[in-house]
Amino acid sequence: MPRNVEEIVNRQVAQWEKERELAFRRRESARPNVVAVSHELKSHGFEIATRAGRLLELPVFDREIVEHIARSARVRLAAVESLDTQVRNRIDEYTTSLLSERNFDRGDYLRHLSRTVATLWEHGSCVLTGHGCVHLVPPEHALRVRIVAPFDLRARRLAADEGVDPAEAARHVRRNDEQRGAFHRRFFGAGIDDLAHFDLVLNTGSLGDDDAAAIVATAYRRKFPGLIVR
């Protein structure tokens, strides 16, 4: 059954409004820490992120949800207004410095995207996937994970999942890799496979999803012992 992304986001907005009604305040010393996952097509990155979220008991925001919030002025406003003034100002300062101090694209799309990711981060510890989230949360507050798999395996997975010809599946995977690489170069001035941007790289050609998720959860707990902020 296809997901209703708008319904998922609306439920999350309601939760944020509930937090505001309870006058939740967070001190600087307790800023949240996230898992930021970048993954290749058909590397099972989303599945691993979801399982890691369950192990850590954290919400998971995938690229569809982040994209929906970033493109919806109503939802962006609701997300920001559910935070206190001090945190809102912190988001403004952070996103301004992020776009001005680093070699990032300064257009409206990345401005909305970076503000969306920063807002999700400030709402509490979570798992973020896709859309350059590894570049948008400071490394001291993120476990940055890259999920990969051999090209041929990813093409076979796509062919099996979508019921397409193996040659067409291979072309699709190659095209998607090129598009994701171009996205990172354009908006972040970085190579998508530059290992310096990651704390952890996992290959699902040799690791099962459950094992990979367990490694992510363990690495998060080791990097941020006792610091899950809800």
Give the ranges where 105-192 is alpha helix by DSSP (H). Answer: 108-123, 133-136, 151-162, 166-188
Span 158-176, mean pLDDT? 95
The whole-angstrom separation of Cα 228 and Cα 67 is 25
The whole-angstrom separation of Cα 180 and Cα 173 is 11
pLDDT of residue 123: 81
Is residue 230 domain-resident? no
In what order do the strands lie in the sheet containing 142-148? 60-61, 127-129, 34-39, 142-148, 200-203
Is residue 27 domain-resident? no
Q: Higher pLDDT residue, 67 or 25?
A: 67
Span 167-185, mean pLDDT? 93
pLDDT of residue 171: 97
Number of domains in the chain: 1
Confidence of residue 187 (pLDDT cuts 50, 70, 90): confident
What global pTM score does this model have? 0.78
CATH code, domain carrying 111: 3.40.50.300
The whole-angstrom separation of Cα 69 and Cα 61 is 10
Query: At residue 38, what are phi and psi to the nearest 5 degrees?
Result: -110, 140
Is residue 139 domain-resident? yes
Range of the domain at 153: 5-21+32-223
Residue 203 CB-density burial (10 A; 0-12 exposed, 13-18 middle, 19+ buried): middle
The whole-angstrom separation of Cα 126 and Cα 56 is 9
Is residue 228 domain-resident? no
Confidence of residue 105 (pLDDT cuts 50, 70, 90): low
**Helix crossing, 45-56 with 209-223: angle to 10°?**
50
Q: List strand residue ranges (DSSP E) for the chain, in order.
A: 34-39, 60-61, 127-129, 142-148, 200-203
Q: What is the rounded radius of gyration, in angstroms, for the C-alpha atoms of the chain?
A: 18
> First vs last Cα of the chain: how many Å apart?
30
Percentage above 90 pLDDT, the chain? 43
